[in-house]
């Protein structure tokens, strides 16, 4: 059978998608032992995990590009989950990092705007997970800043205010939320979760992956495996199994 004929006979295969939208902590999530890699491994044959992390971005910039990532023409059914993971840059101190800083009230408004946009394109609240920024280990991050010729430009207390705002937005919008800032500090020495005081270490990636999977597993457990297991393919008539 010609490939064109096979394609015409078979239904178009569309993998559902999980979209990870965030800053560098999301962008780096597909590195070895990253939390995005963990999700992709567990969802292979069920859906695609799409990394749309953009290093250095804040919610002011993110809300502008979200409609370009998920346009109104997108089939809402094809997106089974979206994570929105910003705040590590928004919470930078204005006087020391004005380019990335976003005021607290605007940060909350931007998150709310992104959730409302997703709802407007028929991605329901139960498919949206907000993730707060993780805690900041100031001594380690100051060392990283000094190595670049900068001063310490973030504080854990300020980051916590942004985390609380994120939790409040989720409550108001009816979405799930993963409060990393609080959960990681239940371990007194949370520095082990961070590689440089800001970004996640291997342990931090594993922690986030486990926390996120506990929320996604129930949402995605009903997704079928795409295409039959190889032992179940009729080798005498593969078209009957695969088209």
| CATH code where residue 186 lies | 3.40.50.1110
User: Domain total for the chain?
Assistant: 1
Residue 7 banded pLDDT, cuts 50, 70, 90: low
For residue 207, the model assigns a pLDDT of 97
- Residue 229 falls within a domain, yes or no? no
Does residue 8 surpass a pLDDT of 80? no
Residue 5 banded pLDDT, cuts 50, 70, 90: low
Domain with 49 in it: 17-220
Query: Looking at 179, 192, 196, 201, which residue is catalytic?
Result: 196
Active site residue 24: yes
Active site residue 196: yes
CA dist 63 → 26, 34, 109, 110, 205 (Å): 16, 25, 10, 6, 25
- Residue 236 falls within a domain, yes or no? no
d(CA 175, CA 163): 15
Query: Looking at 24, 33, 113, 155, which residue is catalytic?
Result: 24
Residue 201 banded pLDDT, cuts 50, 70, 90: very high
- Asked whether 100 and 87 are in contact (CB, 8 A), the reply is no
- Residue 227 falls within a domain, yes or no? no
- Asked whether 128 and 176 are in contact (CB, 8 A), the reply is yes
- Residue 131 falls within a domain, yes or no? yes
- Asked whether 131 and 180 are in contact (CB, 8 A), the reply is yes
| Chain position carrying tokens 């004929």 | 5
Does residue 208 surpass a pLDDT of 80? yes
Short-list 176, 73, 190, CA closest to 132: 176
Short-list 59, 77, 32, CA closest to 166: 59
- pTM of this structure: 0.92
Start-to-end CA span in the chain (Å) = 12
Does residue 3 surpass a pLDDT of 60? no
- Residue 3 falls within a domain, yes or no? no
For residue 224, the model assigns a pLDDT of 84
CA dist 139 → 21, 130, 197 (Å): 28, 27, 7
């Amino acid at each position: 059978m010609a490939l064109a004929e096979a394609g015409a006979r078979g239904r178009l295969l569309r993998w559902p998608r999980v979209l990870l939208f965030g800053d560098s902590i999301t962008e780096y999530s597909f590195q070895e032992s990253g939390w995005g890699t963990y999700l992709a491994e567990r969802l292979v044959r069920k859906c695609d995990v799409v990394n749309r992390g953009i290093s250095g971005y804040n919610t002011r910039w993110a809300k502008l590009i979200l409609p370009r990532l998920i346009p109104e023409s997108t089939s809402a059914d094809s997106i089974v989950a979206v994570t929105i993971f910003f705040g590590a840059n928004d919470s930078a101190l204005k006087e020391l990092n004005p380019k990335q800083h976003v005021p607290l009230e605007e940060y909350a408004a931007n998150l709310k705007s992104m959730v409302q946009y997703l709802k407007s394109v028929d991605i329901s609240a139960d498919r949206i997970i907000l993730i707060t920024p993780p805690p900041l280990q100031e001594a380690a991050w100051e060392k990283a800043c000094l190595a670049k010729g900068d001063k310490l430009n973030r504080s854990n207390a300020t980051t916590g205010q942004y985390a609380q705002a994120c939790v409040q937005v989720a409550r108001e919008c009816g979405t799930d939320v993963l409060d990393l800032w609080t959960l990681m500090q239940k371990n007194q020495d949370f520095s082990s979760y961070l590689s440089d005081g800001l970004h996640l270490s291997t342990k931090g990636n594993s922690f986030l992956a486990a926390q996120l999977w506990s929320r996604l597993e129930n949402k995605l457990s009903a997704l079928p495996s795409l295409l039959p297991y190889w032992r179940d393919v009729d080798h005498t008539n593969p078209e009957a199994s695969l088209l």
